[in-house]
């Protein structure tokens, strides 16, 4: 009888140990991935403010916001998997609040674009669009501050925009490599040419590809998953001068 109980206790202990290690691994992955995604979104909000404000200084109201929509992929994955419950209630509340703001910001952009498409002939079109652009700038600034607070609350550092040093020229299906255990890359996609083009990104060997279209002189922030620290990039034409700048994160 004692042997049976001892065997049962050892089995339960082994299961609990494995569960503890699994939860720890999932918690670390989720926190690191959320910090990265929030960092990309904060950078995108900064870029939104800069572009819309500079356009306004020239008397232009921005009507298309496709490069500035924020990403919610990691957050939604955490909800679906239930891993977000591994975090403390305080962290969960901060994360839910930050992503609620990001959803609101995406809705604000969508409403501004919809207004621009359907009301371009209205007498008050330009003044109304300007008010909407002013709202975009204001909300982007407020949400950026809250996102940065959330990043710090998760133990991360506020992501700083990379310098122009060490830019990577994207050629065909060139594979870019970082540490083997790195799970994602934070990239700034920049079209420095005079023609529009597309760049497709994926983890090395993966079937799923995400494609970004960049107009001349435009840029976009992206989070790219990695396989064994590697990702692949392919441009639609070698004539479009699309560059990658950024960091590979573990």
Q: Where are the domains of the chain?
A: 1-160, 162-250
Cite the beta strand spans of the chain per DSSP E: 168-169, 175-177, 184-191, 197-203, 210-214, 219-225, 230-235, 242-249
The parts of the chain modelled with pLDDT lower than 50 are 15-16, 20-21, 162-174, 250
DSSP state of 216: T
C-alpha radius of gyration, the chain, whole number: 22
Alpha-carbon distance of 8 to 6, in angstroms, equals 5
Structure confidence at residue 246 (pLDDT)? 65
Structure confidence at residue 107 (pLDDT)? 93
Alpha-carbon distance of 250 to 238, in angstroms, equals 30
Structure confidence at residue 102 (pLDDT)? 93
Alpha-carbon distance of 151 to 156, in angstroms, equals 5
The topology under which CATH files domain 162-250 is Jelly Rolls (2.60.120)
Structure confidence at residue 225 (pLDDT)? 78
Structure confidence at residue 105 (pLDDT)? 93
- Neighbour tally for 181: CB within 10 Å: 9
DSSP state of 124: T
Global confidence as pTM: 0.58
Structure confidence at residue 103 (pLDDT)? 93
With CA atoms as reference, report the closest residue to 106 among 74, 143, 77: 143
Structure confidence at residue 127 (pLDDT)? 86
């Amino acid at each position: 009888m004692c042997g049976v109980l001892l065997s049962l206790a050892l089995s339960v202990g082994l299961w609990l140990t494995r569960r503890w290690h699994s939860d720890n691994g999932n918690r670390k992955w989720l926190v690191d991935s959320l910090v990265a995604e929030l960092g990309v979104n904060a950078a995108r909000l900064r870029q939104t403010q800069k572009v819309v404000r500079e356009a306004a200084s020239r008397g232009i109201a921005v009507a298309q916001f496709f490069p500035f929509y924020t990403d919610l992929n990691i957050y939604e994955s955490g909800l679906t998997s239930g891993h977000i419950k591994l975090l403390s209630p305080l962290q969960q509340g901060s994360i839910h609040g930050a992503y609620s703001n990001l959803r609101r910001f995406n809705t604000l952009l969508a409403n501004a674009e919809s207004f621009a498409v359907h009301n371009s002939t209205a007498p008050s079109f330009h003044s109304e669009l300007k008010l909407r652009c002013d709202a975009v700038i204001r909300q982007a600034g407020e949400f950026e501050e809250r996102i940065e607070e959330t990043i710090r609350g998760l133990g991360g550092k506020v992501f700083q925009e990379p310098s122009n040093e060490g830019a990577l020229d994207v050629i065909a299906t060139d594979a870019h490599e970082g540490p083997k255990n790195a799970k994602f890359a934070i990239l700034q996609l920049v079209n420095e040419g005079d023609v529009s083009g597309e760049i497709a990104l994926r983890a090395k060997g993966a079937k799923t590809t995400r494609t970004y279209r960049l107009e001349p002189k435009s840029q976009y922030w992206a989070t790219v998953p990695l396989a064994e620290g590697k990702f692949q990039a392919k441009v639609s034409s070698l004539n479009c001068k699309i560059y990658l700048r950024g960091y590979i994160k573990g």
